[in-house]
Amino acid sequence: MVDERAASFAKRSIKTTMKGAGLRLAVSMVDLTTLEGKDTPEKVRALCRKAVCPHEGGQIEPALPHVAAVCVYPSMVRTAKAAVAGSGVKVASVATAFPSGQYPLDGRLADVRQVVADGADEVDMVINRGAFLAGRYDEVAQEIREVKKACGPAHLKIILETGELETYDHIRRASDLAIEAAAVDGDLADGEVFIKTSTGKVSPAATMPVTLIMLEAIRDHYLATGVRIGMKPAGGIRTAKSALHYLMMVSETLDEHWLSPHLFRFGASSLVNDLVRQALKLSTGTYAAGYDTSVS
Amino acid sequence: MVLKTYKLFINGQFPRTESGRSIKIDGLNGQALAHVCRASRKDLRNAVEAASAAQSGWAGRSAYNRGQILYRMAEMLEARAGEFTDVIASTVDDGCEAAAREVQAAIDRLVSYAGWTDKFSQMLGTHNPVAGPHYNFTVPEAIGVVGVVAPDALPLLGLVSLIAPALCAGNTVVALGSEAHPLATAIVGEVCATSDVPAGVVNLLTGLRSELVEHFAGHREIGAIHAANLPGEQAERLRAGSAENLKRVVVRAIAEPEGWYDESACHSPWWIEPLIDFKTIWHPSGI
């Protein structure tokens, strides 16, 4: 049922004016990500420049918006923060022993406090999948509560790593658990907490059925409490076409409030280039070359 | 009898055109022979995406290995020589002998460029005299994705002659086959699919030049166009449409049919030369 419903969104076609609006919206929702062992400050600065100005050629009128955030490893937070200063682009950092989460809790919490102290606006945590799959739900929930406290004012994104959760039932259970655990200190503000599919280090990463299940958990939480939790599919979304399919799914599963970077993000690195290429096609009428966009 | 519907050849697969359109092909006796796809702008776009993704891998193979694969194409083409001869003779009014001669020449052309893969850079590369303590080399490199627009006449030989030099140099190809006689083009796809040609290295479209030349010209990822014997207006549209993106446009004028059989001209490295870029390297020496 979920598979059929999710597949139905990929059959829609959006053209011309609406496509242009959708591309711009999608750009504004990207968490432009680099999470590699070989990352350097120079690479992070290049990424930040692209985040602030996704296309510098000037052929796209009006110019594309900046992306929502850059997403980096903890050691790069200060570099990224300085590079995007004044632009409106947020800095998100992975933490809690990303991507495995297989470190003692103290270390994971120290990780979070460090990135917040370094200026991260958003923290992307991983849940303890081992504990979750072993049925130790209270342990998982308690860890999320402690991470949420350690975040202070920073927004929290909770990575379920759905590629490791094995069944759709588990994904729904983990979504509910994460949302409820994060809300422990009274009401959350809209967008203060996101749930996120994947680290990008495990295959499969984000898929449409998985995202749909998580959106439904968000919807049910909203109907019960009036609080809007955010959603971030991450990994594997590389084309403008698939980004538009996701937006379609969001708008039909939730409502227009979620069609905003405050409540919906794409975790991606190469997606921005394809969005730029499609926007170039719309504004110039010709297909772009690989060298028309920066390296992703 | 059920008429065969030939499909496009993109990224090593045989997709239908996304537009759902087809063209009925009639034989010389007026009887319908088959259908071919009428490719659209978006099919061209998909083909260029595939060619672009395949290009660095193809150029990165050893020249010798590219030669082996081109030679394998020639072998597979030869194995189907009878089928090609029949298909060409069914729509081209020159008789079976002319068709068989064309097929043989196409095989020879592939073999010739299979041989050139590891030799043309010695012919076209240079060692330049410079006033200083440097070795100075100029070496050829593939341009990237080459768009081929094949002539109407000699539907197999024309297509193969335009594709082979591009492949030889490490380019990948998006080709629009003969508009008047597209059946041979469709079968060349089946040859490629059985010849160790990596997916995306050769992509073949059938359809209308009048509809597609402007998109060949405008697509910025296509680095050069290799065409021959086009109507003047279409050649002009290729050149005008390429003015903004500065791609190289080569529209050859070949005397039909004998020009295509002139091996001294058609088997020459000068057919490769427009489809490469030159890179010059300064290397310190004697310091």
ipTM over cut 0.85: no
Looking at residues B7-14, what average pLDDT do you find? 98
* Domain spans in chain B, listed from the N-terminal domain onward: 4-284
pLDDT tens for each residue of A172-197: 999 999 999 998 777 899 999 999 99
What pLDDT was estimated at residue A295? Answer: 82
Interface contact B42, partner A, CB < 8 A: no
Distance of CA B161 to the CA centre of its chain: 7
B216: confidence class by pLDDT, cuts 50, 70, 90: very high
Looking at residues A102-110, what average pLDDT do you find? 96
B286: confidence class by pLDDT, cuts 50, 70, 90: confident
Domain extent for A216 = 2-292
**Structure token pair of residue A250:** 């969001």
Q: What is the per-residue DSSP string for A168-195?
A: HHHHHHHHHHHHHHHTTTSPPPTTSEEE
| Helix (H) / strand (E) containing A247 | helix A240-253
The stretches of A29-76 forming alpha helices (DSSP H) are 41-52
- CA B272, B276, B278, B283 torsion-angle sign: negative
Q: Which of B216, B183, B212 is nearest to B23 (CA)?
A: B183
Whole-number Cα distances in Å, A230 to A137, A172, B272: 22, 15, 56
What pLDDT was estimated at residue B2? Answer: 82
Interface touch A289/B45, C-beta < 8 Å: no
Looking at residues B131-154, what average pLDDT do you find? 96
**Structure token pair of residue B143:** 């341009």
Looking at residues A1-15, what average pLDDT do you find? 91
Looking at residues B98-103, what average pLDDT do you find? 98
CATH class label, B4-284: alpha beta
Q: Over 70: is that where the pLDDT of B287 sits?
A: no
B276: confidence class by pLDDT, cuts 50, 70, 90: very high
Which of A287, A293, A295 to substitute to test the interface with B, most B CBs within 10 Å? A287
Q: Which of B65, B64, B84 is nearest to B76 (CA)?
A: B84
Q: What is the per-residue DSSP string for A151-166?
A: HTTSEEEEE--GGGT-
How many folded domains does chain A comprise? 1
pLDDT tens for each residue of A214-248: 999 999 999 999 999 999 999 999 999 999 999 99
Q: Over 80: is that where the pLDDT of B82 sits?
A: yes
* CA–CA gap between residue A32 and residue A68 (Å, rounded): 8
Amino acid (1-letter code) at residue A292? D
Strands A90-94 and A69-72: parallel
Distance of CA B111 to the CA centre of its chain: 15
Q: Counting Cβ atoms within 10 Å, is residue A170 exposed (0-12), middle (13-18) or buried (19+)?
A: middle
Q: Over 90: is that where the pLDDT of B1 sits?
A: no
Q: Which residues contact B112 (CB under 8 A, 6 or more apart)?
A: B164, B263, B267
* CA–CA gap between residue A6 and residue A211 (Å, rounded): 9
Q: Which stretches does DSSP call E strand in chain A?
A: 30-33, 69-72, 90-94, 122-126, 155-159, 193-196, 230-232, 266-268
Mean pLDDT for chain A? Answer: 95
Which of B219, B221, B246 to substitute to test the interface with A, most A CBs within 10 Å? B221
What positions of A carry a catalytic annotation? 124, 196, 232
Contact B140, B125 (CB under 8 A): yes
What pLDDT was estimated at residue B40? Answer: 97
Strand ordering across the sheet containing B4-6 = B4-6, B32-37, B22-26
Cα of A285 to nearest chain B Cα, Å: 9
Interface contact B221, partner A, CB < 8 A: yes
Phi and psi at residue A116, to the nearest 5°: -70, -40
What pLDDT was estimated at residue A1? Answer: 85
A57: confidence class by pLDDT, cuts 50, 70, 90: confident
CATH number at residue A44: 3.20.20.70
Contact A139, A179 (CB under 8 A): no
What pLDDT was estimated at residue A18? Answer: 93
Looking at residues B220-226, what average pLDDT do you find? 97
Interface touch B48/A285, C-beta < 8 Å: no
Q: Which of A221-230, A284-293, B84-93, B266-275 has the lowest mean pLDDT?
A: A284-293
